[in-house]
Amino acid sequence: MNRLSVTPVLAPALALAGILPAQAATFGPLVTPQELKVALDSTDAIILDVRGDAYANGHIEGAVSAPYGLFRGPAENPGQLVEVAVLEERYESLGLELEKPIVIVPEGKTDTDFGAAARVYWTLKSSGFEDLSILNGGILAWEAAGYTIEDQPTVLDTTELDIEFSYQWTADSNDVLAVTRGEVDALLLDSRTPEFYEGKKSHPAAAKPGTLPGADNLSYTGFFDQGSPVLQNEIESSSLLDQLGVNDGEDIVAFCNTGHWAATNWFALSEVAGVENVKLYPGSLVEYTNAGHDVVNAPGLIGNFVNKVTGG
């Protein structure tokens, strides 16, 4: 079988070390409040607060408001990619620079909040930014550590950028269809909780409940200790790949409803565990089902199961 295009194989070191964190130049993919606090006086990191309106109620000193919606699509397809030219304009208005470290700050109230930061991280990485980190536990972890917040907004000078979006970590609907038809070899990884995977619940913008034909389920919640909004910062790639039944060099496509929870799975696998062949399907099942494609595990959709087993 063919593989998805522009996809690197697993790093050879995985077999030797079992863990291969993707280290950003300054902090690595995850930074604790304590690490960030110590570094703020000696680094020119840009702090991006992605919480939206909550920014006005208090934020880390010097943080810039970059609402999650700037990195998302319209209501009918929230996971849709933003056009590159529009992204570039938004980056410039925020004052982003490719050479500067960026720390992304979510709310940190629940584990689902992490998906916002992970999706922003994925978008920025795909746009050519390399020194990226997420504040693990978000603004609430910052406050819990005893650090102060301020309510005066920070606005950086606009910049001039020339962004080229890399699709190395992206799978689109055509890629996914090719996998479901057996034309391309990849693991489709449903990042939602089991009730979505089993078709018992669905996103309001999706045309129908269910999951992608042939998909396995690995809920994003498994990367957090129960009840914690803090992502596990050590994930053994070898045991995780064994759990998923993934062979060396096989592509993994993380999806969910709108590319939010799946961004957490992409981040945990790609950036923390160091698995290099992980892609995000940004539009996920909202985009897929509204395009009229078949799903499985959907109540009453027996024909989809027949299509899956017969290939018709």
**pLDDT greater than 70 at residue 14:** no
In angstroms, the CA 268 to CA 105 distance is: 17
In a domain, 111, yes or no: yes
The tally of domains found in the chain comes to: 2
pTM for the whole structure: 0.89
Which of the residue ranges 77-86, 235-244, 272-281 would you say has the lowest mean pLDDT? 235-244
In angstroms, the CA 175 to CA 180 distance is: 9
In a domain, 139, yes or no: yes
First to last CA, the chain: 19
In a domain, 101, yes or no: yes
User: Which tops the pLDDT comparison, 127 or 308?
Assistant: 127
Confidence of residue 96 (pLDDT cuts 50, 70, 90): very high
Same domain, 238 and 135: no
Q: Are strands 30-31 and 132-135 parallel, antiparallel or unpaired?
A: parallel
In a domain, 32, yes or no: yes
**pLDDT greater than 60 at residue 295:** yes
By residue range, what is the domain housing residue 138? 13-144
In a domain, 163, yes or no: no
Same domain, 305 and 194: yes
**pLDDT greater than 50 at residue 302:** no
In a domain, 164, yes or no: no
In angstroms, the CA 24 to CA 127 distance is: 15
Give the per-residue pLDDT at 163: 96
Integer CA distances (angstroms), 146 to 138, 143, 247, 310, in order? 13, 5, 45, 60
Same domain, 139 and 177: no
Same domain, 98 and 223: no
Give the per-residue pLDDT at 4: 53
Mean pLDDT, the chain, rounded, equals 88
Same domain, 265 and 136: no
How confident is the model over 194-208, as a mean pLDDT?
Answer: 95
Same domain, 180 and 303: yes
In a domain, 256, yes or no: yes
Task: Extract the tokens encoding 185.
Answer: 């070899």
Residue 119, CB-side half-sphere exposure with 13 Å CA sphere? 32
- Show which of 144, 160, 186 is a domain's final residue: 144
**pLDDT greater than 50 at residue 271:** yes
Same domain, 285 and 211: yes
What CATH number does the domain containing 55 carry?
A: 3.40.250.10
In a domain, 3, yes or no: no
How confident is the model over 207-236, as a mean pLDDT?
Answer: 94
pLDDT tens digit sequence for 26-43: 999 999 999 999 999 889
Same domain, 114 and 215: no
Same domain, 34 and 117: yes
